[in-house]
Amino acid sequence: MKSCNKGVLPGYYCRYNFKPLDGNGLIFSFLLTTTYTRFDTKRAFYLTNNQQHYIRSVPNQPVSHLPLNNWKYLAAGIGFAILWASASAATKIGLTAAQPFVIAVSRFFIAGAIMLTVTHGIQRNRLPAGEEWRQLIVYGLFNISLYLGLYIVAMQNVSAGLGSLAVAANPVFIALIAAGWLSHAITFKHIFSLLLCFTGVMVAAWPLLLNSFASPAGIGLLVVSMVFYSIGTIYYSRVQWNGLAILTINGWQTIIGGLFLVPALLLTYHPANNQFGANFWKSVGWLAIPVSIGAVQLWLYLISRHPVKAAYWLFICPIIGFAIAAALMKEPITWFTLVGVLLVLGGLYMVQKRN
């Protein structure tokens, strides 16, 4: 068990830089892998086998006895799943009004400005310093520019439901890439779970390809974007952040990632292809605030209660994603869709199942 020393942030304790022995642990906090916990004598974090687990500080209190069935936890989990799954449909709505990089840059600047205002203006957290700026540049490049930049381009030729299904498979990519990056053996479980997820995406995509709801190029870009996201997540977990607040990291990496996309926006911008009406602002506003800020904060709450159990809320996301796509985008739900979702969920379950 690691000792708990007072950290840089007032009232916050126990900072853990996640150093996994294998790729599996990363999937439990694939959005944000470093957390701070305010001690109230009731909660504590400890690390065992290089995975983050949540326990009560009461002696001999098993994890399974945690009160995870209260309304607040359930509301947070359902809220996270709905918001996270809604991103693909919101992106598709925005693409009916504007070019992809116009939407992306607008979203990132709005979300980043709000987060930086809160972290520096209200919470009075410190600015990044020295090597932290280089780390933010690298993280923003992979996590925002390459991942979400390619993602929104791919969504021009991919259905909203398929987009949410691919995003739900991210933990499998992370586990596989982490194993290779950290020079550990890539196990049969890694390979088989990836094959299950890839097969699931292709099965779900088959009728969409036939009916022009998706294209091979769009699916290919979507997969490449997931790889960049996985690299960014692993990089985030491997570097030292020296007590820098999470909201500060997210705010600056979002702004920096948006800045990297400005040249692409300028090179591809055509005024006639952009109508800044209701669809544009509804899309950008939803992606910037409920998704980029709200979903992430709910995720942080879930992993603070129990990171292992929190991961299973990801299983609901593709189901909700297809439901939202069917309701808002009139995308078809077929037996191919159901089989594809089950295959992806099987791959997720394999890679997240505790040994």
Cα distance between residue 50 and residue 21, in whole Å: 7
At 106, list the tokens.
């607008």
Cα distance between residue 283 and residue 155, in whole Å: 14
In a domain, 56, yes or no: no
Cα distance between the two ends of the chain: 20
Flag the least confident range among 73-77, 117-121, 189-193: 189-193
In a domain, 107, yes or no: yes
Separation in Å, CA 340 to CA 89, 106, 176, 189, 222: 19, 33, 20, 19, 16
Cα distance between residue 197 and residue 264, in whole Å: 31
At 108, list the tokens.
């990132």
At 113, list the tokens.
């400005």
Cα distance between residue 66 and residue 305, in whole Å: 9
Cα distance between residue 269 and residue 341, in whole Å: 36
Q: Is the pTM of this model over 0.85?
A: no
What pLDDT score does 318 carry?
Answer: 80
In a domain, 38, yes or no: no
Residue 53 has pLDDT above 50, yes or no: no
Hey, what amino acid is at 148? Answer: L
What pLDDT score does 218 carry?
Answer: 87
In a domain, 166, yes or no: yes
Residue, of 109 and 20, whose pLDDT is higher: 109
CA neighbor of 348 nearest in space, from 224, 227, 194: 194
In a domain, 62, yes or no: no
CB atoms inside a 10 Å sphere around CB 281: 14
In a domain, 318, yes or no: yes
Q: How many residues does the chain have?
A: 355
φ/ψ (deg, to 5) at 6: -60, 130
In a domain, 7, yes or no: no
For residue 224, what are the domain limits? 70-352
Q: How many structural domains is the chain composed of?
A: 1
Residue, of 211 and 130, whose pLDDT is higher: 130
In a domain, 183, yes or no: yes
Residue 156 has pLDDT above 50, yes or no: yes
What pLDDT score does 353 carry?
Answer: 63
Band of pLDDT at residue 266, cut at 50, 70 and 90: very high
For 222-250, the pLDDT digits (tens) are 889 988 988 887 888 788 889 898 899 98
